[in-house]
Structure formats: C-alpha cells, structure tokens
C-alpha cells in the first residue's frame, strides 16, 4: 500500500511569486486535505477536496486554491506569496467510504521558504 507522497520536498520562492505543490493520495483514498504548519506550531487546516470539488475551507484567503484530479491526486496553489507563507505544507488523505471518522494519513510535506 503506497502512502501519501508530496513533491517537491523543499522549495524557495520570492515574495509575490506563485507556487504549486503536489500530492498523491494513499491508494483507495478519495478525499484530500491540505494543512499549513508554521514553525513551532501545530498544522492548520486549509481546505478539503472530495470528488474534485472543494467542500470545506479553513481561515485562509482566496489566494490559496487547489485542485483534485480524477485519480484523487491534488495540487495546492498559492498566489502572490508573502513572507508569512513560509511553512511546511502537508497533504492528508482519507477514505470516508469507511465513515467520517476514518483517520487521516499525512505525507511528509513540502517545506516552502519565501524570501
């Protein structure tokens, strides 16, 4: 069983640029979510995708957007990067087919540095 994989592992961007992060969900998982983890803090929920549509969002501005593809993989796009966007971005997948309480499984994240 393949776990959640994310790419790239590290990325450096300049303020004002745009970035795309990628995630392949765990085999059989049809729901993907994204989290932002600033240094020294717990992860914060950005949004969730199910059936290729966003169906839940945390307290993040519209410049954070995403996509989910028919194979359940996903992208996180961040426009107009700000210095505070520097963080570890985590992707998680789950299979609500087994109920809403099924555990989320996380990838190891993409470390984004904005200079």
Partner 1 sequence: DAKTTQPPSMDCAEGRAANLPCNHSTISGNEYVYWYRQIHSQGPQYIIHGLKNNETNEMASLIITEDRKSSTLILPHATLRDTAVYYCIVRGDTGTASKLTFGTGTRLQVTL
96 binds partner 1 (CB under 8 A): yes
| Per-residue buried b or exposed e for 55-83, using 16+ beta carbons within 10 Å of the residue's own CB | eeeeeeeeebbbbbeeebbbbbebeebee
Q: Single out the residue of 72, 107, 112, 114 in contact with partner 1 (rule: CB under 8 A).
A: 107
DSSP 32: E
Compare residues 18 and 113 and give the one whose CB is closer to partner 1: 113
Alpha helices in the chain (DSSP H): none
What is the Cα–Cα distance from 75 to 14, expressed in whole angstroms? Answer: 20
Q: How far is the CB of 69 from partner 1 (least distance, A)?
A: 17
CB closer to partner 1 out of 20 and 41: 41
Kindly write out the interface string for residues 19-58 of this chain, putting x where it contacts partner 1 by CB under 8 A and - elsewhere: ------------xxx-------xxxxx--x------xx-x
Indicate the residue among 2 and 14 with the shorter CB distance to partner 1. Answer: 2
Q: Kindly state whether residue 59 participates in binding partner 1, applying the rule CB under 8 A.
A: no
> For residue 91, what is the enclosing H or E element?
strand 87-94
Contacts (Cβ under 8 Å, ≥6 apart) of 57: 46, 47, 48
Binding residues for partner 1 (CB under 8 A): 4, 31-33, 41-45, 48, 55-56, 58, 90, 92, 94, 96, 100-109
């Amino acid at each position: 069983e393949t776990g959640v994989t994310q790419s790239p592992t590290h990325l450096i961007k300049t303020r004002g640029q745009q970035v795309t992060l990628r995630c392949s969900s765990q085999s059989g998982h049809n729901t993907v979510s994204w989290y932002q983890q600033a240094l020294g803090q717990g992860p914060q929920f950005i949004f969730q995708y199910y059936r290729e549509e966003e169906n839940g969002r945390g307290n993040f501005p519209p410049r954070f957007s995403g996509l989910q593809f028919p194979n359940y993989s996903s992208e996180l796009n961040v426009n107009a990067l700000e210095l505070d966007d520097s963080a570890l971005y985590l992707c998680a997948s789950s299979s609500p087919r087994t109920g809403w309480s099924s555990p989320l499984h996380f990838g190891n994240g993409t470390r984004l540095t904005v200079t």
